[in-house]
Amino acid sequence: MAHPSQLGFQDAASPVMEELLHFHDHALMIVSLISAFVLYIIVALVTAKVSNKFMLDSEEIEIIWTLLPAIILTLIALPSLRILYLMDEINAPHLTIKAMGHQWYWSYEYTDYEDLAFDSYMIPTQDLTPGQFRLLEADHRMVVPVESPIRVLVSAEDVLHSWAVPSLGVKMDAVPGRLNQLAFIASRTGVFYGQCSEICGANHSFMPIVVEAVPLEHFENWSSLMLEDA
């Protein structure tokens, strides 16, 4: 969960998000070094500290500033492609959940169970209890077992939506008439918040996503209670 005056991303709660954080730091370091070097050259040229022929008119320097950007782009592209393939990889999920976007709430269906489905609405501000987050709490959370591969099938019933949970490193558009999928593994227990990341109408900011990762035995107890109430 983000907190006031926070710099950077939320703490990673999945292996994919950990990789994204490492890649962000990797790319940011390269960009910082390039910015510092370019700033130094600009200041040096303006103050006439660099005015020799090698810097201003030289085939060698032209070769360097042609090859160097290509090398830098390669250093950025290779880890980026690796993470893209890692995010698309879905191998033998333990649980499949269908997330359907509506105006303006989410509905979840646990396809491995016959009657386990529910709608998830935002809790109004006046109904919040101490410790709950305004505009982020939902009356029914999507509960998943920790350290288990989870596949989420994402679609929409009316307009474009987007199912996104930053701590898990997942974001997938919900398109009417199309079934998209994503996968994640919650590496630790906790409650992770997200929101619809597509401008889907007047109440776009009032359809939060709440994912609760619990131990497997707690998930089995929760699913049994939900099936009894169905």
86 contacts 77 by C-beta, under 8 angstroms: no
For the chain, residues with pLDDT lower than 70 are 1-2, 48-58, 230
The enclosing domain of 158 has a CATH number of 2.60.40.420
Nearest in space to 153 (alpha carbons), one of 107, 191, 116: 107
Provide the pLDDT for residue 90. Answer: 83
Q: Are residues 114 and 177 in the same domain?
A: yes
- Domain membership flag for residue 206: yes
What are the start-end ranges of the H helices in 101-215?
A: none
Which residue, chain included where needed, has tokens 């880890």? 79
Provide the pLDDT for residue 51. Answer: 59
Residue where a domain stops, chosen among 71, 88, 105: 88
Q: Are residues 115 and 71 in the same domain?
A: no
Q: Are residues 64 and 134 in the same domain?
A: no
Q: Are residues 123 and 185 in the same domain?
A: yes
Q: Are residues 75 and 107 in the same domain?
A: no
Q: Would you tell me how many other CB atoms lie within 10 Å of the CB of residue 64?
A: 11
Q: Are residues 133 and 53 in the same domain?
A: no
Q: Are residues 37 and 82 in the same domain?
A: yes
Provide the pLDDT for residue 49. Answer: 62
Residue where a domain stops, chosen among 88, 116, 133: 88
- Domain membership flag for residue 225: yes
Cα–Cα distance between 139 and 105 in angstroms, integer?
Answer: 11
Q: Is 134 helix (H, G, I), strand (E, B) or coil?
A: coil
- Domain membership flag for residue 37: yes
* Model pLDDT for residues 119-173, shown as the tens digit of each residue: 999 999 999 999 899 999 999 999 999 999 999 999 999 999 999 999 999 999 9
Q: Are residues 106 and 211 in the same domain?
A: yes
- What pairing do the DSSP bridges indicate for beta strands 142-145 and 208-214? parallel
Q: Would you tell me how many other CB atoms lie within 10 Å of the CB of residue 48?
A: 7
Q: Are residues 225 and 115 in the same domain?
A: yes
Q: Which two tokens stand for residue 92?
A: 């033998």
Nearest in space to 150 (alpha carbons), one of 109, 93, 192: 93
What amino acid occupies position 170?
A: V
Q: Report how many domains make up the chain.
A: 2
Q: Which residues span the domain enclosing 102? A: 95-229
Q: Are residues 70 and 21 in the same domain?
A: yes
Q: Are residues 55 and 123 in the same domain?
A: no
Which of the 8 DSSP states describes residue 111?
T
Residue where a domain stops, chosen among 45, 71, 88: 88
- Domain membership flag for residue 4: no
- Domain membership flag for residue 5: no
